[in-house]
């Protein structure tokens, strides 16, 4: 389904409003809205305005440098790129099967990242909207405001993230941008001392993760009409699942469901991703628009990430999270849930699953082992796919006989969600903005919809809370009609045009 607000017929006659940059997301993007004379919304687009160039400048570099270099795409979930690239390089160095220590240390690293990234997103970036309201006082709609009004919630958010970062540190060597995963395995395992330190905290982390799921359910329960309808649209869903159909963030095979929940394809070897996923380029965005080849550009777009994963799998292989998954599925009587705000609920179920998995891995002595690397016959092409916090992440490389990269293709999670986010904000614009005089609170509704997807627009901008924002109304004749500025301290003003 589509709200049809992608292309207005006569944009030159419309007023343009821009949200630039979108705040409390990872990276740099903007939203443009075109309004007619009656303030009716005619066109809405989410643009990603940054250009990174990683696919180009990794060419000509030695393959063993790739997992360390490409993770610099992002500071919030670098482990995803580190591991997806490592999986691709495993294929290059001919690793058919990682050693048990390598596989489990990588998994521990990845689930630690899931925990920290989901905690960061929910508590630091989104809880201000959900706890205070989308149009609440902008001065306190940030993590500092949450800390003042709900100190225990904010404290747990910070400590959950910290624990995930510590798991990453002992497996990757650093909290951010470590080097632990290398082609064919890992360069370190976990020491007993490191494990014992993590074990001392894991049961608190588990309890707080359960409470976080309860908090999201409570929010849904308080205003089901809002949570079930805000920005809603229907689409297919894509994720990895294990060979048995379980949720698996580190490895698996591709499964897609249509908007009614029926399986479109299942157990597809991700090395064949290009046979099932194509990308469309549109003139107004640097971000491509992927679609399922079998359904075509108009109907083939889909969503990825927690909402897709929790509904795509048959079960979650840890008991507490699976019980929460069943409750989530039952909430809609078994029909797929497409509401963007349900992403938060699914995300907290995943955080609980990550905490349970970390607990299990910490009790597994394989993570202490010394057998770190396995290699085999060299190959010239490698594809690594992983479920990053924000969704399915595809890394694809070709390496020449001199060990240098000749081709790199990255399809990152947020790219998969490109059309989905555009549809969500079109719905919100139509429902809440159309025909109204713009205010900061109304514009924040657009951002709330974008934030639900936890997009990683991936650049060096890691602003917390309110970023400076200026919205300009331009009339059909090109003249400036109105201007609204939001300042770094959260206050707004209306400077003279």
Partner 1 sequence: MSAPATFTLDGRAIAFAEGQTILQAAVAAGAYIPHLCFHPDFKPHGSCKVCTVTVGGRHAASCTTRATAGAVVESDTPAINAERRALVQMLFVEGNHFCPSCEKSGDCKLQATAYDLGMVSPHFDHFYPDRPVDASHPELLLDFNRCILCSLCVRASRDVDGKNAFALAWRGIRTRLIVNSRTGKLADTNVTAADKAAHVCPVGVILPKRRGFATPLGRRVFDLKPISAMADASAAVALAEAGEPRRDRQSDGRLP
**Burial code of 324-337, b = ≥16 C-beta within 10 A, e = fewer?**
bbeebbebeeeebb
Cis-peptide, bond into residue 21, ω within 30° of zero: yes
Check residue 73 for interaction with partner 1 (CB under 8 A).
Answer: no
- Rule CB under 8 A: which of 157-176 touch partner 1? 172-174
Q: Output phi, psi for 307, to 5 deg.
A: -65, -35
Write down the residue that tokens 């046979």 correspond to. Answer: 275
- Six token digits for residue 301: 């777009």
Q: Given candidates 93, 292, 351, 393, which one binds partner 1 under the rule CB under 8 A? A: 93
Check residue 403 for interaction with partner 1 (CB under 8 A).
Answer: yes
Of the two residues 155 and 378, which places its CB atom closer to partner 1 in the complex? Answer: 378
For residue 17, give the 3-state DSSP assignment: strand
Check residue 177 for interaction with partner 1 (CB under 8 A).
Answer: yes
Of the two residues 64 and 265, which places its CB atom closer to partner 1 in the complex? Answer: 64
Check residue 114 for interaction with partner 1 (CB under 8 A).
Answer: no
Of the two residues 172 and 456, which places its CB atom closer to partner 1 in the complex? Answer: 172
The whole-angstrom separation of Cα 401 and Cα 17 is 52
Check residue 91 for interaction with partner 1 (CB under 8 A).
Answer: no
Residues near partner 1 (CB under 8 A), total: 24
Binding segment for partner 1 (CB under 8 A), chosen from 54-62, 230-238, 298-306, 458-466, is: 54-62
The whole-angstrom separation of Cα 274 and Cα 110 is 25
> Are the CB atoms for 297 and 289 separated by under 8 Å?
yes
Binding segment for partner 1 (CB under 8 A), chosen from 33-41, 63-71, 336-344, 465-473, is: 63-71
Of the two residues 243 and 376, which places its CB atom closer to partner 1 in the complex? Answer: 376
Binding segment for partner 1 (CB under 8 A), chosen from 133-141, 247-255, 274-282, 398-406, is: 398-406
Check residue 60 for interaction with partner 1 (CB under 8 A).
Answer: yes
Indicate the pairing of strand 456-457 with strand 26-27: parallel
The contacts of residue 492 (CB under 8 Å, 6+ apart) are 138, 440, 484, 485, 486
Binding mask 178-217 for partner 1 (x = CB under 8 A): xxx-xx---xx-----------------------------
Write down the residue that tokens 């976080």 correspond to. Answer: 212
What is the secondary structure of 301-318 as a DSSP string? -EE-SHHHHHHHSSB-SS
Point out which residues bind partner 1 (CB under 8 A): 60-62, 64-65, 67-69, 72, 93, 172-174, 177-180, 182-183, 187-188, 402-404
């Amino acid at each position: 389904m589509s709200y049809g607000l992608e292309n207005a017929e006569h944009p030159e006659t419309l007023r343009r409003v821009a949200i630039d940059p979108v705040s409390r997301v990872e990276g740099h993007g903007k939203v443009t809205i075109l309004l007619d004379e009656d303030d009716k919304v005619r066109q809405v687009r989410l643009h990603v305005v940054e250009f990174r160039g990683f696919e180009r400048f990794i060419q000509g570099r030695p393959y063993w440098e790739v997992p360390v270099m490409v993770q610099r795409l992002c500071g919030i979930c670098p482990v995803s790129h580190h591991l997806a690239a490592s999986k691709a390089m495993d294929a290059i160095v001919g690793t058919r099967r990682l050693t048990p220590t390598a596989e489990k240390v990588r998994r521990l690293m990845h689930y630690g990242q899931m925990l920290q990234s989901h905690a960061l997103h929910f508590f630091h970036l989104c809880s201000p909207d959900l706890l205070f309201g989308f149009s609440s006082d902008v001065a306190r709609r940030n993590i500092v405001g949450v800390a003042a009004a709900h100190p225990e919630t904010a404290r747990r958010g910070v400590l959950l993230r910290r624990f995930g970062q510590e798991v990453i540190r002992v497996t990757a060597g650093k909290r951010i941008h470590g080097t632990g995963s290398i082609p064919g395995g890992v360069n370190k395992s976990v020491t007993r001392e490191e494990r014992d330190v993590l074990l001392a905290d894991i049961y608190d982390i588990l309890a707080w993760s359960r409470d976080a799921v309860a908090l999201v359910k409570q929010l849904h329960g308080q205003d089901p009409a809002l949570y079930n309808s805000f920005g809603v649209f229907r689409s297919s869903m894509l994720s990895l699942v294990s060979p048995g159909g379980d949720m698996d963030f580190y490895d698996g095979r591709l499964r897609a469901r249509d908007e009614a929940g029926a399986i479109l394809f299942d157990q597809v070897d991700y090395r064949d991703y290009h046979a099932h996923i194509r990308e469309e380029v549109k003139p107004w965005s640097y971000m491509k628009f992927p679609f399922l080849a079998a359904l075509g550009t108009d109907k083939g777009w889909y969503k990825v990430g927690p909402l897709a994963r929790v509904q795509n799998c048959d079960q979650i292989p840890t008991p507490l999270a699976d019980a929460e998954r069943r409750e989530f599925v039952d909430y809609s009587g078994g029909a797929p849930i497409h509401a963007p705000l349900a992403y938060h609920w699914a995300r907290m179920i995943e955080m609980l699953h990550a905490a349970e998995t970390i607990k299990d891995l910490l009790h597994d002595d394989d993570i202490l082992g010394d057998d770190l690397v396995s290699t085999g016959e060299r190959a010239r092409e490698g594809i690594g796919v992983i479920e990053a916090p924000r969704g399915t992440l595809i890394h694809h490389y070709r390496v020449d006989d001199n060990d240098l990269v000749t081709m790199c293709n990255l399809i990152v999670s947020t790219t998969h969600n490109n059309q989905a986010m555009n549809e969500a904000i079109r719905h919100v614009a139509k429902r809440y903005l159309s025909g109204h005089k713009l205010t900061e609170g109304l514009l924040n509704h657009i951002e709330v919809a974008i934030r639900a997807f936890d997009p990683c627009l991936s650049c060096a901008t890691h602003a917390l809370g309110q970023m400076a924002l200026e919205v300009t109304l331009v009339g059909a004749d090109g003249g400036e009609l109105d201007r609204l500025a939001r300042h770094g301290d959260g206050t707004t003003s209306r400077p003279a045009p």
